Amino acid sequence: MLKKEIEKILNDNNVILFNYTANKHNIKIVVDTIDGIDINMITKISNQIKNSNIVNFEYPKGVRVEVSSPGLDQPLQKRFQYKRNINKKIKVFLKNKDEINNPIIGVINIVNDDNILIENKNGFFKLMFDQIEKSFLQIEINK
């Protein structure tokens, strides 16, 4: 019931749920949007959850609500995250551990419905989404 209420709040704000955990003292959710989420939307979502009748019923003594966006330590999970990060460096781990080029580190060049094209010094790599185990953005520090 609580998760459904949170999902409704998120849907009403065009926000996508990535992770949800709740216990007797805390509600933690990780959210994002197609265009990227900002602190104002995170604050709005947090306040709507705190002020929800269901949350107040489930937690009459109060609850700590933590709303955040996926950090750099979190893997990319949705296609829109790849699209939003075209021309950024990525490290992709493939499901097939025997693949010679595993992981592949390069720049996201193209994102399609079922694959991505990554470019690095060795050329272009077309990867189907179902080949990807996990992938992370890579931090580049300009010199």
Determine if the pTM surpasses 0.95.
no
Residue pLDDT tens, the chain, 143 long: 889 999 999 999 999 999 999 999 999 999 999 988 999 999 999 999 999 999 989 999 989 999 999 988 889 999 999 999 999 999 999 998 776 778 999 999 999 999 999 999 999 999 999 999 999 999 877 75
- Contacts made by residues 80-89, CB under 8 angstroms, sequence distance 24+: 80/34, 81/32, 82/108, 82/111, 82/116, 82/135, 83/111, 84/34, 84/35, 84/36, 85/137, 86/110, 86/111, 88/137, 88/138, 89/137, 89/138, 89/140
